[in-house]
Amino acid sequence: MGSGIETINAPKVFIILVNWNGWRDTIECLQSLEALDYPHKEVVVVDNGSTDQSVSKIQTEYPGITLLESKENTGFAGGNNLGINYAIEKDADYFWLLNNDTVVEKRALSALVERMEENPAIGICGSKLIYYHQRDTIQALAGGHYNKWLGVSTNIGGQAAVDVEINPEEVEDRLDFVIGASMLVSREFIREVGLLNEEYFLYYEEIDWAARAKGKFKVGFAPESIVYHKEGASIGGKQALPAEKSRKSDYYQIKNRLKFTASFYPLYLPVVYATVILAIFNRALRGQWNRIPMIIKLMFSFNK
């Protein structure tokens, strides 16, 4: 196992996949997990209130897998928290929150664990994320930098060539948070910081987690952990062109931009409000008139 953790002493890792009407992606992800070289792991699939054939399809393909069913869609945070709580009861040392719309390379998990074992101050560690459909291009090196003035984040290494030279220490110095597509989280982090904030439902949960952990834990990067990500596959998220971004994605990105700012950087809220007003003009230019009342309403009710 690379620089290696001895098999006999390998920490126990629970891999948590959250599925919502995406059984095809989930099964492809599970197939890639079979090739992982990490010895001490268990996979948990959380079905987040799917309305398609997800449960039966996954159980048919993987009859022995642990599949937890939520009666309703509780969002990214709620689904992952259900898996984390199950893994805590099973004495997990680490929790690998992995998007179901990913495919991983053989050493993806080993590299994450090795980095966190090297530096116990790291509470969350991220992977080298590469676009699934554009494998010569990086989505992010672990995560991103958060701009308090604008209330938005920028992926570190985003859009760079996949073979670009990387200085892992420089990446970690710039990291404000780890992207939720691949996050290895320690049990100590959960104990001290708590679970994901379910009030966000979608987007900004990872940034909120990192903000709550500031001064207690560092965020890390494992460059040899390679994960291919379809990004936004379920709801038409970030990778979609602005005009094609789903209404649901638009709603939660704007709502949670305001919510997070109000919670952690309230002095910056007037400037973030200005960016939301600009977003209204942008939607008008695109002819997305039905989104304008939604955004205006969010400006006055984002905490509800």
Q: Where are the alpha helices (DSSP H) in 42-107?
A: 54-61, 75-89
Q: What one-character DSSP code corresponds to residue 268?
A: G
pLDDT at 226 (0 to 100)? 98
Strands 94-98 and 182-186 turn out to be antiparallel
Number of domain units in the chain: 2
**What mean pLDDT do residues 104-114 have?**
98
Asked if residue 279 has pLDDT above 90, the reply is yes
Question: 229, 262, 283 — which closes off a domain?
Answer: 229
The whole-number average pLDDT for the span 269-293 is 94
Residue 240: predicted pLDDT: 43
pTM over 0.85: yes
Can you tell me which residue has the tokens 């930098």? 145
Residues 137 and 254 in one domain: no
| Cβ-based neighbour number of residue 291 at 10 Å | 20
CA-based angle 226:230:236, to the nearest 5?
150
The confidence score (pLDDT) of residue 9 equals: 81
What is the rounded average pLDDT for all residues in the chain? Answer: 93
Q: Based on the domain organization, do 208 and 296 belong to the same domain?
A: no
Tens digits of per-residue pLDDT, 12-52? 999 999 999 999 999 999 999 999 999 999 999 999 999 99
Closest to 258 (Cα-Cα) out of 272, 279, 275: 272
pLDDT given for residue 58 in this prediction: 98
Last residue of a domain, one of 201, 229, 257: 229
Q: Is the pLDDT of residue 3 over 80?
A: no
CATH number, domain of 103, equals: 3.90.550.60
Show the domain range for 140.
7-229
User: Please, which pLDDT band fits residue 245 given cuts at 50, 70 and 90?
Assistant: low
User: Residues of the chain with pLDDT > 70: what percent?
Assistant: 93
Residues near 238 by beta carbon (within 8 Å), at least 6 away in sequence: 231, 232, 245, 249
The rounded distance, in Å, linking the Cα atoms of 19 and 202 is 14
Residue 236 lies in a domain: no
- pLDDT at position 5 over 90: no
How long is the chain?
304
DSSP bridge pairs for 83: none
Does pLDDT of 116 surpass 80?
Answer: yes
Q: pLDDT of 194-207, one tens digit each?
A: 999 999 999 999 99
